[in-house]
């Protein structure tokens, strides 16, 4: 005689705190720079599931659909300018999803918990850029090409130094941990972006994170060696070595620079959102969730973030 197995039902004692944080995450995905409305609806659905006894398999299926939906929505965001960017984004999405949410991802949960203060600091760094976009928004809405170009130029070195370099460091920590090749903190402190790029290759990870980083462009803007041509609508970027010898002297179109900037910020957006999705999985499936309902995102956002996607188009 066969005995049918009863599917386990899940309802956590702290479900109210978990639900509060899930609703907060749903709002974040709804009004962010690139809104993910269907993803937000799936997270709201998860929030309703945690308040009742729900089969664990149903929670897992709903989370899997949330992930798939977000990948589709992010791969269709307005900042994608061409097929090359679409292919790169898909490779980043697949690579980071496999790292954070795939096999062995559970090993990284404690590591992510350890670096969470750094991730929260990056969020604060990112929102420091918003006044810059706010100042230039009237010109962007008027499709002023010159001012659009300058807004992106001013933001580029801030993004490289204030966000991208730290994201790369955190990713390197996680990938090294995942590959069981931990790196000494002192070594991390002195590594340059080029060093990280070489390190990723040695770890067997492709250079898909560095398509938005151009050290010559960064140096050119940081030293104010960039000139806009009203006639051509292009920006001339010039870099020089420590002896003053010119090492870079190239004109860029706004469209080409927009692609560079979009690839740079895409690494942070994907990493940040996957960390949030990892937290969502923890909220619905983990028996113990540290600080459930306490570290909310939307208390720090005003809802004025809509429209900033114009900067990257």
Dist CA 18 CA 4 (whole Å): 32
pLDDT of residue 32: 75
Q: Which residues pair with 246 in a beta bridge?
A: 240
When pLDDT is averaged across residues 2-23 and rounded to a whole number, the result is: 82
User: Helices 105-127 and 254-285: crossing angle, nearest 10°?
Assistant: 130
pLDDT of residue 313: 46
The more confidently predicted of residues 9 and 256 is 256
When pLDDT is averaged across residues 259-269 and rounded to a whole number, the result is: 93
Taking CA atoms, 267 is separated from 69, 89, 171, 201, in Å, by 19, 9, 10, 17
Residue 37 token pair? 């409305």
Question: How far is C-alpha 74 from the chain's CA centre?
Answer: 11
| pLDDT at residue 7 tops 90 | no
- Each domain of the chain, given as residue ranges in start order, spans 9-312
Dist CA 121 CA 194 (whole Å): 23
- Long-range contacts from 192-197, C-beta under 8 angstroms, 24+ separation: 193/164, 193/165, 193/168, 196/168, 196/169, 196/172
Helix (H) or strand (E) holding 246: strand 246-252
pLDDT of residue 138: 94
Backbone angles phi, psi at 198, to 5 degrees: -65, -40
Whole-number mean pLDDT of the chain? 87
In the 8-state DSSP scheme, what is residue 7? P
274: Cβ contacts below 8 Å, ≥ 6 apart: 96, 97, 100, 101
The more confidently predicted of residues 307 and 61 is 61
pLDDT tens readout for residues 141-188 = 999 999 999 999 999 999 999 999 999 999 998 888 888 888 888 888
Dist CA 103 CA 206 (whole Å): 19
User: Helices 254-285 and 165-178: crossing angle, nearest 10°?
Assistant: 50
210: Cβ contacts below 8 Å, ≥ 6 apart: 193, 197, 200
pLDDT tens readout for residues 83-113 = 888 888 988 998 888 888 876 556 677 777 7
| Angle subtended at Cα 89 by Cα 86 and Cα 92, rounded to the nearest 5 degrees | 155
261: Cβ contacts below 8 Å, ≥ 6 apart: 152, 155, 156, 159, 212, 312
| pLDDT at residue 226 tops 70 | yes
When pLDDT is averaged across residues 228-257 and rounded to a whole number, the result is: 96
Residue 105 token pair? 């991802």
Smallest CA-to-CA distance from 22 within 302, 297, 300 is with 297
Q: Cβ atoms within 10 A of the Cβ of 270, count?
A: 22
pLDDT tens readout for residues 62-89 = 999 999 999 999 888 777 778 888 888 9
pLDDT of residue 103: 62
Binned at pLDDT 50, 70 and 90, residue 301 comes out as: low
Lowest mean pLDDT among 164-168, 281-285, 305-309: 305-309
pLDDT of residue 309: 44
| pLDDT at residue 3 tops 50 | no
pLDDT of residue 54: 93
Lowest mean pLDDT among 17-26, 91-100, 145-154, 234-243: 91-100
| pLDDT at residue 223 tops 60 | yes
Question: Three-class SS of residue 122?
Answer: helix
pLDDT of residue 280: 94
When pLDDT is averaged across residues 36-54 and rounded to a whole number, the result is: 95
pLDDT of residue 58: 95
């Amino acid at each position: 005689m066969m005995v049918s197995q009863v599917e386990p039902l899940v309802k956590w004692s702290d479900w109210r705190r978990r639900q509060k944080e899930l609703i907060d995450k749903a709002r974040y995905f709804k009004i962010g720079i690139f809104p993910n409305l269907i993803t937000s609806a799936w997270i709201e659905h998860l929030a309703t599931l945690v308040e009742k006894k729900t089969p664990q398999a149903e929670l897992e299926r709903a989370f899997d659909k949330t992930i798939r939906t977000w990948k589709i929505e992010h791969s269709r965001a307005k900042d994608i300018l061409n097929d090359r960017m679409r292919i790169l984004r898909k490779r980043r999405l697949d690579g980071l999803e496999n790292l954070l949410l795939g096999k062995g991802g559970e090993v990284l949960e404690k590591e992510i918990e350890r670096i969470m203060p750094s991730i929260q600091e990056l969020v604060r760094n990112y929102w420091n850029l918003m006044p810059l976009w706010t100042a230039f928004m009237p010109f962007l809405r008027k499709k002023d090409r010159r001012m659009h170009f300058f807004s992106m130029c001013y933001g580029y070195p801030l993004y490289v130094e204030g966000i991208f370099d730290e994201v790369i460091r955190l990713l390197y920590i996680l990938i090294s941990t995942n590959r069981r090749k931990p790196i000494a903190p002192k070594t991390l402190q002195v590594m340059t972006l080029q060093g990280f790029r070489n390190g990723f290759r040695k770890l067997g990870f492709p250079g898909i994170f560095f398509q938005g980083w151009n050290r010559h462009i960064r140096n050119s803007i940081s030293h104010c060696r960039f000139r806009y041509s009203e006639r051509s609508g292009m920006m001339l970027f010039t870099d020089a070595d420590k002896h003053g010898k010119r090492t870079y002297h190239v004109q860029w179109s706004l469209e080409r620079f927009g692609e560079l900037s979009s690839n740079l910020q895409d690494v942070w957006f994907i990493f940040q959102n996957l960390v949030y999705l990892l937290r969502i999985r923890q909220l619905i499936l983990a028996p113990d969730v540290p600080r459930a309902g306490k570290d909310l995102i939307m208390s720090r956002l005003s809802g004025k973030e809509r429209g900033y996607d114009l900067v990257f188009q």
